[in-house]
Amino acid sequence: MTSAQLHVDTSRLSAWLETELSPDEQRRVEHHLASCAECGDRLARLQTLLREARSLPDAIDPPDELWSAVRARVESAEPRARSRLHLRRWELAAAAAVLVALTSVLTTLVVRRPTVVVVQPAATPVAAVATPFVGPGRSIDADYSATIRQLDDALAEHRAELAPATIAKVEASLRVIDGAITEARRALAADPANLTLLDILSANYQRKLELLRRATELPPTT
Amino acid sequence: MTIPLRSLIRFTGVLLVLIAPSAAAQRAVEMRHAVSPTASVRIFGSFAELRIRGWDRDSVAITGTVPSDARFDGGFLTAGDGASPGAKFFLESTSGTPSGKLELRVPAGARVWAKSGSATIDVDGVTGGLDLNIIGGSVRVVGRPHDLTVESMDGSVTIDGAPAWARLKTATGDIVFNGSSDDAGLTTVSGAVRVPAGHFERARIESVTGPVEFSGGLARGGTLDVDTHSGSIELRLSRKIAAEFDVATVSGTIENTLTGRPPAAGREGRGQEIGFTTGDGGARIYLRSFKGNIRLRPLPDSRR
């Protein structure tokens, strides 16, 4: 057995933090952490990441023009994070949200661009704010809902410039994603510690964000 | 049989009336200019068909036909005394309906950015970068672009080649990736994703309801991540693959005829999960679904 195999990977560290492992496993990881500086470092980084994610403000306001840059940075960062740390999707989501928030704050300071004025209600209601939610899923809801609301508003402003057929296509896909979000949220409400469900919920939110972002970037009259 | 002269004249007149507007409605477009080998070329607007070809000349040529009442603008950027670093073209039709057939020839190493509403985009021979964006229609890319981004709503996306880095995203359009990549990300809401062959260093496939089929190979140390909400996942892999498998579905089923090892019940008896290693590991395969069924199957021996 190599020394690398003795280390605790990040998903197990995450599970250990959430007390997800069996009692024996919890003890084994604890024992290993007591004597392994490398895993201790990784645990500290993970705790910092989660602490930063929890301390995020509820309202995250990414300027539209930053989406491409943010997406590029997140996507270029993701493969490295996955290959070295195997971060879970919701951990990556938290990191992405931190990145969005930091970029937004910096841009607001530098550019001081005016706030988007909402002229009509969002075309697609945000499923995440429909019912109160407890447990880790609540953090995911909070991370995404403000950004989704912003993009909903931007799309509402943009929709008059789009062809009706295009709007119909976008809305049909948003309904599919909203249905999936609702299903995952219900399942997570019944099983709040299920990390697979957290990943799935987070993935569905990311797809909604992505679709909304793309819809807001569609050229007029298409 | 004889045709009365008056009928012939009337028929010819009708024919001319029908043909003349369409013949007159089109005009030719042709622009050429020397550019740098890695020029950046952007084309935007309501073209219906766009062929992009990479060639071994340091010049850009755009040719084709557009409606005579359409506005076609374009130009080449200037940079001192050297070759142009890039070009921009824009087509706007008065009706708003996609029209016009264009062929864009660029240096093979160029970066090309194309955006249209509903269009057929066909690319071959570009080794630089491609960023293609449509709502409907289709995109087909052949060759080995260094990086490839395709975004579509209901347009289909087909790749026959080996982009080093690829990100393909659709809402309802199908994605077919017939090739290889160091880093591929395929995302759809409800389209089907098929990877019938190829070799991947790192592949990530995501869908909400769309089915996923993967029959490619993985590099040693490579990774394959698939997650879907309710789409089915079907992996067909070589029995010789050396990989760690981590597979779980919250409320779907898992069928494993790759190794025959049965899945276990998931958390609290719901769903199923299975984890195992084949060979000496090396690659990592991570599959997740909410309620989509997952199948792990062997490729026929002749394939690997």
- Summarised one tens digit per residue, pLDDT across range B3-49 is 555 555 454 444 444 444 444 478 999 999 999 999 999 999 889 99
Tell me the per-residue pLDDT of A167-212, one tens digit each, with 9 for 90 and over: 999 999 999 999 999 999 999 888 888 888 888 999 999 999 999 9
Which tokens sit at A221? Answer: 């009259």
Q: How many domains does chain B have?
A: 1
Which residues are within 8 A (CB) of A175 and not within 5 positions of it... i.e. 6 or more apart? A124
Q: How many CB pairs (< 8 A) connect A and B?
A: 95
Task: Examine residue B279 and state whether it is found in any structural domain, yes or no.
Answer: yes
Could you say which of A180, A218, A219 has the minimum Cβ distance to residue B208? A180
- Establish if B42 touches chain A: CB-CB under 8 angstroms: no
DSSP symbol at A66: G
Find the residue in A nearest to B152 (Cα). A214
Task: Examine residue B229 and state whether it is found in any structural domain, yes or no.
Answer: yes
Report CA A133 to chain centroid distance, whole Å: 16
CB A182 within 8 A of CB A127: yes
Give the number of C-alpha atoms closer than 13 A to the C-alpha of residue A160, restricted to the C-beta side. 4
Task: Examine residue B215 and state whether it is found in any structural domain, yes or no.
Answer: yes
Give the number of other Cβ atoms within 10 Å of residue A52's Cβ: 15
Could you say which of A75, A176, A219 has the minimum Cβ distance to residue B209? A176
Interface TM-score (ipTM) > 0.95: no
- Please enumerate, as own/partner, the contacts of A32-36 that have beta carbons within 8 Å and a separation of 24 or more: A32/A6, A32/A7, A32/A8, A33/A8, A36/A6, A36/A7, A36/A8
- Establish if B93 touches chain A: CB-CB under 8 angstroms: no
Q: Residue B249: beta bridge partners? A: B272, B289
Q: Residue B34: beta bridge partners? A: B59
Task: Examine residue B74 and state whether it is found in any structural domain, yes or no.
Answer: no
Torsion (CA) A91, A208, A177, B48 in degrees, nearest 10: -140
Residue A13 has pLDDT above 90, yes or no: no
**How confident is the model at residue B165, as a pLDDT?**
97
Residue A67 has pLDDT above 50, yes or no: no
Could you say which of A183, A196, A203 has the minimum Cβ distance to residue B206? A203
Task: Examine residue B193 and state whether it is found in any structural domain, yes or no.
Answer: yes
Q: Do A200 and B227 touch (CB under 8 A)?
A: yes
Which residues are within 8 A (CB) of B45 and not within 5 positions of it... i.e. 6 or more apart? B89, B90, B91, B92, B93, B115, B116
Task: Examine residue B262 and state whether it is found in any structural domain, yes or no.
Answer: yes
CB A166 within 8 A of CB B153: yes
Find the residue in B nearest to A175 (Cα). B189
Query: In which element (H, E) is residue B6 found?
Result: helix B5-24
Residue A2 has pLDDT above 90, yes or no: no
Which tokens sit at B28? Answer: 């030719």
Distance (Å) from the alpha carbon of A182 to chain B's nearest alpha carbon: 11
Helices (H), chain A: 3-6, 10-17, 23-35, 37-54, 67-85, 89-111, 136-158, 164-190, 195-216
Q: Best mutation site among B201, B208, B267, B288 for testing chain A: the one with the most A CBs within 10 Å?
A: B208
d(CA A101, CA A107): 10
Which range marks the domain in which residue B240 is found? Answer: 174-304
Per-range mean pLDDT, top range of A116-130, B26-40, B93-107: B26-40
Q: Do B208 and A170 touch (CB under 8 A)?
A: no
Q: Best mutation site among B94, B183, B250 for testing chain A: the one with the most A CBs within 10 Å?
A: B250
Torsion (CA) B243, B248, B254, B258 in degrees, nearest 10: 0
Q: Do A82 and B151 touch (CB under 8 A)?
A: no
Q: Give the residue carrying structure tokens 């990877």.
A: B195
d(CA B192, CA B33): 41
Q: Do B117 and A219 touch (CB under 8 A)?
A: yes
Q: Do B171 and A211 touch (CB under 8 A)?
A: yes
Q: Do B208 and A210 touch (CB under 8 A)?
A: no
**How confident is the model at residue A183, as a pLDDT?**
94
Residue B45 one-letter amino acid: G
**How confident is the model at residue B103, as a pLDDT?**
97
Torsion (CA) A14, A15, A18, A19 in degrees, nearest 10: -140
Alpha-carbon separation of residue A20 from A46, B200, B267 (angstroms): 16, 33, 11
Could you say which of B154, B229, B250 has the minimum Cβ distance to residue A204? B229
Distance (Å) from the alpha carbon of A109 to chain B's nearest alpha carbon: 31
Give the number of C-alpha atoms closer than 13 A to the C-alpha of residue B226, restricted to the C-beta side. 30
Q: Do B208 and A218 touch (CB under 8 A)?
A: no
Confidence of residue A95 (pLDDT cuts 50, 70, 90): low
Task: Examine residue B95 and state whether it is found in any structural domain, yes or no.
Answer: no
- Establish if B151 touches chain A: CB-CB under 8 angstroms: yes
d(CA B117, CA B136): 7
d(CA B207, CA B14): 53
Which tokens sit at A183? Answer: 């299903």
Task: Examine residue B207 and state whether it is found in any structural domain, yes or no.
Answer: yes
Q: Is B39 helix (H, G, I), strand (E, B) or coil?
A: strand
**How confident is the model at residue A31, as a pLDDT?**
79
Residue A141 has pLDDT above 50, yes or no: yes
CB B229 within 8 A of CB B209: yes
- Establish if B219 touches chain A: CB-CB under 8 angstroms: no
CB A147 within 8 A of CB A94: no
Q: Best mutation site among A88, A176, A178 for testing chain B: the one with the most B CBs within 10 Å?
A: A176
Closest CA to B189 of A130, A166, A205: A205
Q: Give the residue carrying structure tokens 């993970």.
A: A46
% of chain B at pLDDT higher than 70: 90
